[in-house]
Structure 1
Amino acid sequence: MGKVAQIESLPLTESGGEIPVHVAIIMDGNGRWAAARGLPRIEGHRRGVEAVRRTVRHAGRRGVKALTLFTFSSENWSRPKSEVEDLFNLLRFFIRNDLAELKANGVRIKVIGRREGLPPDIGDLVREAESETAANQGLTLQVAFNYGGRDELVRAARLVGEKMLAGAIDPADVNERIFEEHLDTAGICDPDLLIRTSGEARISNFLLWQLAYTEFVFLPVCWPDFDETEFDAAIAEFHSRERRFGGLFHG
């Protein structure tokens, strides 16, 4: 979907502001939330799952069409083995317990990132979630799991190169559209709004290609405390921006 199509399709809030079609979120601060309360890190991750549920439901109510959540980066493998396993267990729990509700509410699930190296049952659950919700026409929930932006770009370049070697693509024809078709996010418009929680102000190897013209909002709240009010505050900040996509300022 091109940028003009994205802008023209934005629905309006009650106050007349535009609802972003696609919201991406770096869900940061679970560990800090737990540490501030003297709790184990896993408790922060558990509370983070509750925040995911709130956010998915609210995004759907607000008319957002696509929601991408950065849940597990390819760099997270460097964390202690026990914490990695805890994160996998939370993903298992979320899919098994929430899939029926997501399906009933018309949510379509898409998982981006490397699938190689994941536990076999995780791969099976991911495929089940995608298959069970493939026909849904509501919110697209794009889960970035075992994902890294640089890795995605390398894999896309490799795919394009393989097709050129096979004669399926003429090198002279390679352009942005063709490259985008080989990204994990193919078929999903670029994010209008990126939210990062916990006060950090960086994108941490997330959607490096797709965030080229995205509006960034960095919030001080840790992810377990992120709720409908925080979501709406980020949209209000989005409303205040003048999106120019390289053009002139008209304010």
Structure 2
Amino acid sequence: MTVVPASAEPRPDSGGAAVPRHVAIIMDGNGRWAKARGLPRAAGHKAGAEAARKVLRAAGEAGVECLTLYAFSSENWRRPETEINDLKGLLRFYIQSELDALHKEGIRLKIIGDHSAFGPELCKMVDHAVSRTAANTRMTLAIALNYGSRVELVNAARNLAEKVASGDLDPADIDEAKLDEALDTRELPPLDLLIRTSGECRLSNFLLWQAAYAELLFVETLWPDFGGNELRAALAEFAARERRYGGL
């Protein structure tokens, strides 16, 4: 069976415009935003977290089913230890301060990547947040933590290979759907729109498989300055595009 990406459809209150079911964002530019203001990088990350809150609200209002945010890549461990600790502290703070609001708003939290690398205390906190919001259905917020798409694909291939070795899977039955089911994003809708802020035009090892038929949008705005208006402009750009999936 071949996976065919689902087309976005008009949502209520969208004026008939196509609204992407699943939007993913590479949140880039926190450091440059802080540097331009003579502030420490930690201030940029804090401002970026506030931007994420605004974008989440705007996405929910627009009818987006799932918002995936690239919060910490597997390559980010190369950054200075002080910055990594700042990011961990910010994650801890926002889980503590935002969990009740997420749950009240009916938002399900999903983690992609190996967040166990952040240590037992923070890992337990994240797992609790995921468990508490698991039954929520209004919207999904997926956070990519210690995520790398190549590692995700390797893990999926290894998982399928183990099933073949154990006799639980016939190699002839491996298709796109089987691989898709082995990915971290298997519980999420197909990716419709991928946005990267700060003017950079690359995917940086993010959702490489999932982005095969996604619309890509690269914007100059630094992430801390990206809010509800900017997301709505991105959604309008998406609605204006024609998606043919290789057809005419």
Measured in 2, the distance between the counterparts of 1:213 and 1:74 equals: 24
1:168 paired to 2:168: yes
Quick check: 1:23–1:68 contact (8 Å CA) kept in 2? yes
What is the Cα deviation at residue 115 of structure 1?
3.2
| Bigger Cα displacement from structure 2, 131-140 vs 107-116 | 107-116
Query: In structure 2, what is the equivalent of residue 39 of structure 1?
Result: 39
* TM-score, normalised via structure 2 length: 0.96
The residue number in structure 1 matching 2:217 is 217
C-alpha distance after superposition, 1:219-250 (max 9, x if no partner)? 111010111110011111111211011111xx
Seen in structure 2, the aligned counterparts of structure 1 residues 195 and 92 have a Cα distance that, compared at 3 Å, is same
Unaligned runs of 5+ in 1: none
Q: Deviations over 1:94-121 (max 9, x none)?
A: 1111000000000000000013432111
Amino acid at match of 2:17: G
SS at match of 1:143: strand
2:58 and 2:232 in contact (8 A); partners too:
no
**1:15 deviation in Å?**
3.6
Q: Residue 57 of structure 1 corresponds to which residue in structure 2? A: 57
Name the structure 1 match of 2:111. Answer: 111
Structure 2 CA distance for partners of 1:187 and 1:9, relative to 1, 3 Å = farther
2:134 maps to 134
Displacement of 1:13 after TM fit?
5.2
How far off its partner does 1:194 sit?
0.7
Matched, 1:24 2:21: no
Separation in 2 of the partners of 1:2 and 1:208? 15
Gaps of 5+ in 2: none
What is the rounded CA distance, in whole Å, between the counterparts of 1:84 and 1:210 in structure 2?
A: 27
Contact 1:12 1:18 (C-alpha < 8 Å) held by counterparts: no
The amino acid of 1:170's aligned partner reads D
Aligned to 1:186: 186
Instruction: Give TM-score, length-normalised by structure 1.
Output: 0.95
Identity %: 52
RMSD between aligned alpha carbons? 1.5
| Aligned position for 1:82 | 82
* 8 Å Cα contact 2:19/2:235 also seen in 1: yes
Number of residue pairs matched by the alignment: 247
